[in-house]
């Protein structure tokens, strides 16, 4: 059996009782940490479930997943994933492959940034497609114009855009880096989609005691330091209740 379990938003304290029970029954336990920043301790995670946890690299899931699939044929394999296990398409593909091989699968959900953004007061049904703002090295120095296109489309429809910030190994993109990329996109396209007077939301360290939400113009937030992980939300047309709620974060 292959089990995917969410680690939640912040650290090992976000584990559910169901996840702990499943991990204790598992023959092998892995953790995938490359798709998002996790502030937990591997040592404390192992202490909580009472067994060794092996860290998976990107290639272990995307290119060399035979080891995992083979282990799941003959035993119970559990993979911990930051946030909710099926937000990243990589994990959906793994489940799909296991099912094709006749392997039983189970998904144990947990909190993710997709649900946590409701803490901003923005209405969940008013979010359009989300984007990931990539590091320049991922795009070989080219501007990620697809990011601009999605934001433009969402704003034209009055919808909010959740901007996830890139992660490469231990390096996590900061909001100030993402803002510069957005402004560079506007300078290149000049379609008045991302102007300096545009109000945006920055939500950092969601799910922790140090969680912080700020709403202000790009001009005022540009260059400011925020803790990571963080996301940026570009609002669409605001309902008066959304506007009132956001005013508490200025």
Q: Which domain holds residue 227?
A: 114-249
pTM: 0.92
Last residue of a domain, one of 111, 139, 164: 111
User: Same structural domain for residues 51 and 76?
Assistant: yes
User: Same structural domain for residues 7 and 128?
Assistant: no
Q: Choose among 45, 116, 115: nearest CA to 80.
A: 45
Write the pLDDT tens digit of every residue in 192-226: 999 999 999 999 999 999 999 999 999 999 999 99
Last residue of a domain, one of 82, 111, 140: 111
Looking at beta carbons, which pairs linking 57-63 to residues 24 or more positions away fall under 8 Å? 58/34, 61/32, 61/90, 61/91, 61/94, 62/90
Q: What is the total count of domains within the chain?
A: 2
Last residue of a domain, one of 69, 86, 111: 111
Write the pLDDT tens digit of every residue in 11-62: 999 999 999 999 999 999 999 988 888 999 999 999 999 999 999 987 787 7
């Amino acid at each position: 059996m292959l089990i995917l379990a969410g680690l939640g938003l912040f650290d090992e304290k976000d584990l559910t009782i169901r996840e702990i029970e499943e991990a204790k029954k598992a023959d092998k336990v892995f953790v995938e940490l490359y798709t998002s920043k996790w502030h937990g301790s591997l040592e404390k995670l192992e202490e909580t479930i009472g067994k060794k946890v092996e860290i998976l690299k990107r290639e272990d899931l995307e290119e060399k997943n035979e080891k995992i699939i083979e282990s799941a044929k003959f035993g119970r394999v559990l993979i911990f994933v930051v946030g909710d296990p099926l937000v990243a398409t990589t994990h959906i593909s793994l489940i799909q492959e296991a099912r094709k091989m006749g392997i039983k699968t189970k998904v144990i959900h947990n909190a993710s940034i997709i649900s946590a953004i409701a803490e901003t007061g923005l209405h969940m049904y008013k979010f359009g497609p989300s984007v990931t703002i990539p590091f320049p090295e991922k795009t070989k120095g080219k501007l990620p114009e697809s990011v601009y296109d999605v934001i433009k489309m969402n704003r034209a429809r009055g919808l909010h855009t959740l901007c996830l910030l890139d992660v490469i190994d231990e390096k996590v993109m900061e909001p100030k880096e993402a803002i510069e990329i957005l402004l560079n996109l506007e300078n290149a396209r000049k379609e008045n989609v991302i102007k300096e007077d545009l109000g945006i939301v920055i939500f950092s360290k969601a799910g922790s005691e140090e969680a912080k939400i700020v709403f202000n113009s790009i001009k005022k937030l540009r260059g400011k330091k925020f803790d990571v992980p963080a996301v940026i939300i570009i609002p669409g047309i605001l309902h008066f209740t959304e506007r009132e709620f956001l005013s508490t974060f200025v």
